[in-house]
Amino acid sequence: MIARKLFVTAGGAFLGFALGVATLSASMSSVEYVSFNGAVRLPGVTLAAGTYSFEVMDNIEGDVVCVRNRATREPVFLGLTLPVQRADRPARSLVLGEAPKGEPIPIIQWFPRGDTRGHQFVYPR
């Protein structure tokens, strides 16, 4: 009786975990990889040259974007963004700002895979 109860409890816990993982992975949008040949900037962080994944965290309230280093999969940016809309599909997925010579260029907006709905990064003033 105790063994059966333990088996049912363990089975339920495993099923709950499996469903949770499936829900988490299904709720995350597709990932877009972007490579930079020089340093760029996001609010509070500078990204060195390399490849990064950009993804919208659909399972979190608000317009949250996560940027990860592709090589290590470690998050380098996780933050709220403002929704932005464009009438046309941009040729490039990133809108870059200007920076003084020698400073990393800021990423202003990201439009996933040329979508007309994008995400504007919020920089402190």
Please, is 61 exposed, middle or buried when counting C-beta atoms within 10 Å of its C-beta (0-12, 13-18, 19+)?
exposed
Domain ranges of the chain: 1-29, 31-121
Compute the half-sphere exposure of residue 81: CA atoms within 13 Å on the CB side of its CA: 27
CA atoms within 13 A on the CB side of 101: 0
pLDDT tens by residue, 16-74: 333 333 334 434 457 899 999 999 999 999 999 999 999 999 877 778 999 999 999 99
What pTM was computed for the model? 0.73
62-97 pLDDT, tens digit each: 789 999 999 999 999 999 999 999 888 767 899 999
Q: Please tell me the least confidently modeled range out of 1-10, 11-20, 57-66.
A: 11-20
